[in-house]
Amino acid sequence: MPDTCSKCKKKVSMWKSFYVGDKVLCENCHKKEEEKIKKREALKSEIVYGLGGWLIFVQIALIFGIIMGAQMLIDMTDVVIYWYLILVWCVLQVIVLTFMYAKNKKFPYLAIIWVWYSFLFVSVSFAGYTFFGAGETESFSIFPLFLWILLLIIAIIGTIYFKNSKRVKNTFTK
Protein backbone atom coordinates (compact mmCIF):
# COMPACT_ATOMS: atom_id res chain seq x y z
CA MET A 1 0.00 0.00 0.00
CA PRO A 2 1.65 3.29 -1.06
CA ASP A 3 2.00 6.06 1.49
CA THR A 4 2.04 9.80 0.90
CA CYS A 5 5.07 11.89 1.87
CA SER A 6 3.91 14.43 4.42
CA LYS A 7 6.29 17.05 2.98
CA CYS A 8 6.08 16.92 -0.79
CA LYS A 9 2.82 14.92 -0.97
CA LYS A 10 4.33 12.42 -3.43
CA LYS A 11 3.28 8.83 -3.24
CA VAL A 12 5.99 6.60 -1.81
CA SER A 13 6.19 2.84 -1.76
CA MET A 14 6.30 1.21 1.64
CA TRP A 15 9.93 0.12 1.05
CA LYS A 16 11.14 3.60 0.33
CA SER A 17 9.27 5.49 2.99
CA PHE A 18 10.80 6.80 6.18
CA TYR A 19 8.99 7.25 9.43
CA VAL A 20 9.95 10.28 11.48
CA GLY A 21 7.79 10.50 14.55
CA ASP A 22 4.31 10.02 13.13
CA LYS A 23 5.23 11.54 9.75
CA VAL A 24 5.93 9.59 6.58
CA LEU A 25 8.68 10.99 4.36
CA CYS A 26 9.99 10.07 0.95
CA GLU A 27 13.69 9.39 0.47
CA ASN A 28 14.41 12.92 -0.75
CA CYS A 29 12.55 14.74 2.01
CA HIS A 30 14.04 12.44 4.61
CA LYS A 31 17.55 13.34 3.44
CA LYS A 32 16.74 17.04 3.59
CA GLU A 33 15.22 16.70 7.03
CA GLU A 34 18.29 14.87 8.33
CA GLU A 35 20.58 17.57 7.01
CA LYS A 36 18.51 20.23 8.70
CA ILE A 37 18.79 18.43 12.04
CA LYS A 38 22.56 18.00 11.60
CA LYS A 39 23.00 21.69 10.86
CA ARG A 40 20.92 22.66 13.88
CA GLU A 41 22.99 20.41 16.12
CA ALA A 42 26.26 21.75 14.72
CA LEU A 43 25.10 25.29 15.47
CA LYS A 44 24.08 24.32 18.97
CA SER A 45 27.36 22.61 19.79
CA GLU A 46 29.51 25.35 18.28
CA ILE A 47 31.35 26.78 21.22
CA VAL A 48 31.92 30.50 21.24
CA TYR A 49 34.89 31.23 23.41
CA GLY A 50 37.59 33.82 23.90
CA LEU A 51 37.95 37.58 23.70
CA GLY A 52 36.60 37.87 20.14
CA GLY A 53 33.15 38.85 18.92
CA TRP A 54 31.63 41.83 20.70
CA LEU A 55 34.34 41.61 23.34
CA ILE A 56 36.72 43.19 20.80
CA PHE A 57 34.64 46.37 21.00
CA VAL A 58 34.57 46.14 24.79
CA GLN A 59 38.39 46.02 24.83
CA ILE A 60 38.65 49.00 22.47
CA ALA A 61 36.13 50.96 24.57
CA LEU A 62 38.04 50.21 27.79
CA ILE A 63 41.45 51.14 26.39
CA PHE A 64 40.03 54.25 24.74
CA GLY A 65 38.25 55.14 28.01
CA ILE A 66 41.42 54.79 30.06
CA ILE A 67 43.39 57.01 27.65
CA MET A 68 40.55 59.57 27.51
CA GLY A 69 40.17 59.55 31.29
CA ALA A 70 43.88 59.94 31.87
CA GLN A 71 43.96 62.85 29.44
CA MET A 72 41.05 64.50 31.31
CA LEU A 73 42.80 64.00 34.65
CA ILE A 74 45.87 65.78 33.28
CA ASP A 75 43.86 68.59 31.66
CA MET A 76 41.41 69.30 34.48
CA THR A 77 42.42 70.84 37.73
CA ASP A 78 39.53 73.21 38.37
CA VAL A 79 36.54 71.04 39.37
CA VAL A 80 37.55 68.77 42.20
CA ILE A 81 34.45 66.52 42.28
CA TYR A 82 34.68 65.77 38.54
CA TRP A 83 38.35 65.06 38.85
CA TYR A 84 37.64 62.38 41.46
CA LEU A 85 34.75 60.95 39.41
CA ILE A 86 37.09 60.62 36.41
CA LEU A 87 39.77 59.06 38.62
CA VAL A 88 37.29 56.41 39.81
CA TRP A 89 36.23 55.87 36.17
CA CYS A 90 39.86 55.34 35.11
CA VAL A 91 40.67 52.97 37.96
CA LEU A 92 37.44 51.04 37.36
CA GLN A 93 38.33 50.60 33.68
CA VAL A 94 41.83 49.37 34.52
CA ILE A 95 40.27 46.84 36.94
CA VAL A 96 37.67 45.69 34.37
CA LEU A 97 40.36 45.26 31.69
CA THR A 98 42.61 43.33 34.10
CA PHE A 99 39.78 40.96 35.05
CA MET A 100 38.93 40.61 31.37
CA TYR A 101 42.42 39.48 30.36
CA ALA A 102 42.55 37.21 33.41
CA LYS A 103 39.26 35.66 32.15
CA ASN A 104 37.97 36.05 35.68
CA LYS A 105 34.44 35.03 36.64
CA LYS A 106 33.77 38.47 38.12
CA PHE A 107 34.36 40.23 34.79
CA PRO A 108 30.69 40.34 33.66
CA TYR A 109 29.58 41.96 36.95
CA LEU A 110 32.40 44.50 36.85
CA ALA A 111 31.64 45.26 33.22
CA ILE A 112 28.00 45.98 34.14
CA ILE A 113 29.17 48.33 36.91
CA TRP A 114 31.46 49.98 34.35
CA VAL A 115 28.72 50.67 31.75
CA TRP A 116 26.39 52.11 34.41
CA TYR A 117 29.12 54.14 36.07
CA SER A 118 30.00 55.62 32.67
CA PHE A 119 26.36 56.54 32.13
CA LEU A 120 25.90 57.98 35.63
CA PHE A 121 29.18 59.84 35.43
CA VAL A 122 28.12 61.56 32.22
CA SER A 123 24.67 62.21 33.75
CA VAL A 124 26.26 63.97 36.71
CA SER A 125 28.58 65.93 34.44
CA PHE A 126 25.74 66.78 32.09
CA ALA A 127 23.42 67.85 34.94
CA GLY A 128 26.19 69.87 36.55
CA TYR A 129 26.97 71.57 33.28
CA THR A 130 23.35 72.19 32.29
CA PHE A 131 21.76 73.23 35.58
CA PHE A 132 24.60 74.69 37.57
CA GLY A 133 27.01 75.74 34.86
CA ALA A 134 29.61 73.83 36.81
CA GLY A 135 32.64 72.53 35.01
CA GLU A 136 32.07 74.82 32.09
CA THR A 137 35.46 73.97 30.76
CA GLU A 138 36.34 72.70 27.33
CA SER A 139 36.26 69.11 28.52
CA PHE A 140 32.61 69.33 29.47
CA SER A 141 31.22 71.42 26.68
CA ILE A 142 31.59 68.31 24.49
CA PHE A 143 28.90 66.40 26.44
CA PRO A 144 25.70 66.87 24.47
CA LEU A 145 22.43 65.06 24.92
CA PHE A 146 23.16 62.43 22.27
CA LEU A 147 26.15 61.12 24.23
CA TRP A 148 23.95 60.76 27.30
CA ILE A 149 21.32 58.80 25.34
CA LEU A 150 24.02 56.73 23.61
CA LEU A 151 25.55 55.77 26.96
CA LEU A 152 22.12 54.85 28.35
CA ILE A 153 21.52 52.54 25.38
CA ILE A 154 25.02 51.06 25.77
CA ALA A 155 24.41 50.48 29.49
CA ILE A 156 21.12 48.66 28.85
CA ILE A 157 22.40 46.56 25.93
CA GLY A 158 25.69 45.94 27.77
CA THR A 159 23.86 44.65 30.85
CA ILE A 160 21.81 42.24 28.72
CA TYR A 161 24.93 41.14 26.82
CA PHE A 162 27.20 40.58 29.83
CA LYS A 163 24.44 38.66 31.60
CA ASN A 164 23.31 36.45 28.72
CA SER A 165 26.11 36.07 26.19
CA LYS A 166 27.22 32.48 25.58
CA ARG A 167 30.70 33.73 24.78
CA VAL A 168 30.89 35.57 28.12
CA LYS A 169 29.67 32.47 29.97
CA ASN A 170 32.23 30.24 28.22
CA THR A 171 35.17 32.62 28.50
CA PHE A 172 35.07 34.00 32.04
CA THR A 173 35.31 30.89 34.16
CA LYS A 174 38.43 31.34 36.29
Q: Does residue 5 touch Zn ion according to CB under 5 A?
A: yes
Q: Would you say 8 or 153 has its CB closer to Zn ion? A: 8
User: What does the alpha-carbon distance between residue 173 and residue 51 come to, in Å, rounded to a whole number?
Assistant: 13
Q: Would you say 37 or 81 has its CB closer to Zn ion? A: 37
Q: Does residue 24 touch Zn ion according to CB under 5 A?
A: no
Nearest approach, Cβ of residue 40 and Zn ion (Å): 20
User: What does the alpha-carbon distance between residue 3 and residue 77 come to, in Å, rounded to a whole number?
Assistant: 85
SS3 of residue 17 by DSSP? coil
Rounded (5°) CA angle 5-6-7: 90
Query: Which amino acid appears at position 157 of this protein?
Result: I
Applying CB under 5 A, which part among 5-13, 55-63, 73-81, 97-105 lies near Zn ion? 5-13
Q: Would you say 29 or 97 has its CB closer to Zn ion? A: 29
Nearest approach, Cβ of residue 41 and Zn ion (Å): 22
SS3 of residue 18 by DSSP? strand
Q: Does residue 7 touch Zn ion according to CB under 5 A?
A: yes
Q: Does residue 112 touch Zn ion according to CB under 5 A?
A: no
Q: How many residues bind Zn ion (CB under 5 A)?
A: 5
Is the dihedral angle over the CA atoms 13, 14, 16, 18 positive or is it negative?
Answer: positive
SS3 of residue 135 by DSSP? coil
Q: Would you say 31 or 39 has its CB closer to Zn ion? A: 31
Interface with Zn ion (CB under 5 A): 5, 7-8, 26, 29
